[in-house]
Amino acid sequence: MWTDDVDRVLADDYLGDLPAKPIDGIRAMRDECRAIEDRVSYLRRMIQGRLDIVAADLRRRAEGGSPVDLGTLIEQLPDILSDKGNTGGPGRLPTGLIQPEDESLTDELDRVAGPDVLGHLPELSDDAVAELARRIGELERKVSTSRRGLFGRIDALNGELARRYGTGEADVAALLDR
């Protein structure tokens, strides 16, 4: 599960004594954190998409709109899922824009709001849809918290690399030979 990797790199002892670690080890740790963050960011985008679909259904219900069939919902997806502006996050661009190979990445999301649930939104009660939105929102907060923690790890590792280059402990010219 995605949380295993996140929990491991966010553990108190993951960074250890950074100044004592070899530079290649720090780069490897940073690359690992970036790869995990890419997966977590992908999951977060998936969660936000499903939350947008449920929120659109809640708006429709609040406005007294008629239930939509699956075909109509599919037609509305480009508008529902379009970027509505800044979500208030740290504003970092994802480094990976393709689906990760981790087939189990969305298992938790699918248990909460899988395609079978979203395809039957019109049949759910108002209370059930509100509960669904709450559960998806809770998952989004959990994933966002993990993502912020991963950014903290990446920043700490980048900071140690920058410190070494700044003090001359690491040779910037060596980067060009790579």
Sequence-separated (6 or more) residues with CB below 8 Å from residue 76:
56, 68
Q: Is the pLDDT of residue 85 over 70?
A: no
Q: Whats the size of the chain, residue-wise?
A: 178
Can you give the pTM of this predicted structure? 0.81
Sequence-separated (6 or more) residues with CB below 8 Å from residue 44:
140, 143, 144, 147
What percent of the chain lies above the pLDDT cut of 90? 54
Per-residue pLDDT at 167: 87
Q: Is the pLDDT of residue 92 over 70?
A: no
* Euclidean distance between CA atoms 73 and 56, whole angstroms: 10
Domain range list for the chain: 22-81+104-170
- What is the pLDDT confidence band of residue 93, given thresholds at 50, 70 and 90? low
Q: Is the pLDDT of residue 152 over 90?
A: yes
pLDDT digits (tens, 9 = 90+) for 25-77: 999 999 999 999 999 999 999 999 999 999 989 988 898 887 776 676 777 77
User: Which of the 8 DSSP states describes residue 92?
Assistant: P
Rg of the chain taking only CA atoms, in angstroms = 21
- What is the pLDDT confidence band of residue 81, given thresholds at 50, 70 and 90? confident
pLDDT digits (tens, 9 = 90+) for 161-170: 999 988 888 7
